[in-house]
Structure 1
Amino acid sequence: MSEWTNAKMCDVANLVLGAILFFSPWLFAFPEGIASQNAYIAGIVIAALSLAALAAYAVWEEWLNLIVGLWVLASPWLLGFGEQAMTVHVVIGALVTILAAAEIWMMYQRHPPHQTAAR
């Protein structure tokens, strides 16, 4: 039960973070533009990947969530967001990245990749 709880709780948390990111332009009154568009698209992607992981877990979903989390974290500097949009993106990006990395780490702790011996 604890394995289910750890993995599923990370996915549920990422689902909630994706939803918050999607609605953040309205919640935090971002000006229309690239920051809002980034929040909509990245929020949908994070939520969709989290739903996919909840339905049928695969490690590739977590790797994609890690990449999207890193994008959300770095996008304010790469795209030039305002202060409020920057704060939301950095916090949510960091949390998504940490949760995805933790889930990948848990997966490899339970099932280490097969190593072949060179002879």
Structure 2
Amino acid sequence: MANTFMEGKKSQDCINLVLAAGLFVSPWVMGYMADSVPAWNAWIVAVVLGALAIATLSVFAQWEEWANLVVGLWLIASPWLLGFTSNAGAMWTHVILGALVAAVSAWAVWDERQNPHAHA
């Protein structure tokens, strides 16, 4: 059971790493490079998300999954909090990737609660 649990953790962290990479390149791919607020938000959050995913891949810590959840929620809220809802590409990129990050992180937290000693 522990091996399956750890494989699931690695999958979740790899998914977050891929989402971080997608977020990082999104200003170029989605065409909002000229709008500095969402572009910088994407780059900063992508670096934080990537660092958390790499850290969690190295040594599991539940707080990192909670931090990822907060990062996902920030991505969802940031178009309104930072005022770039008028840029549809940037807004939807942040909302969709934020929802995916939050969902993967919630899944990781749920896994940990179902198997609290499996990571030891």
Q: Same fold (TM over 0.5)?
A: yes
1:95 aligned residue? 100
Distance 1:111 1:56 in 2: 15
1:27 aligned residue? 29
- Which of 29, 44, 48 aligns to 1:45? It is 48
1:115 aligned residue? none
Distance 1:104 1:89 in 2: 22
Q: C-alpha offsets along residues 41-76 of structure 1, whole Å, 9 cap, x if unaligned?
A: 000000110000001110011011111110001101
Residue 77 (1) aligns with residue 93 (2): no
Q: After the TM superposition, list the runs of 4 or more consecutive aligned residues in structure 1 that deviate by more than 2 angstroms.
A: none
**Amino acid of the structure 2 residue aligned with 1:29:** G
Distance 2:35 2:80 in 1: 17
Which structure: larger Rg? 1
Asked if the contact 2:5/2:115 (under 8 Å) is kept, the reply is no
How far residue 29 of structure 1 moved from its aligned partner, in angstroms, is 1.2
Structure 1 regions of 5+ residues with no counterpart? 113-119
CA RMSD of aligned residues (A): 1.1
Report the TM-score when normalising by structure 1.
0.90
2:9 aligned residue? 7
**Amino acid of the structure 1 residue aligned with 2:30:** F
How far residue 3 of structure 1 moved from its aligned partner, in angstroms, is 1.1
Residue 17 (1) aligns with residue 19 (2): yes
Equivalent pairs counted in the alignment come to: 112
Asked if the contact 2:23/2:42 (under 8 Å) is kept, the reply is yes
Partner SS, residue 97 of structure 1: helix
Residue 104 (1) aligns with residue 109 (2): yes
Structure 2 regions of 5+ residues with no counterpart? none
Partner SS, residue 50 of structure 2: helix
Q: C-alpha offsets along residues 9-62 of structure 1, whole Å, 9 cap, x if unaligned?
A: 010000000111011111111023100010000000001100000011100110
**Amino acid of the structure 2 residue aligned with 1:111:** P
- Which of 64, 67, 70 aligns to 1:67? It is 70
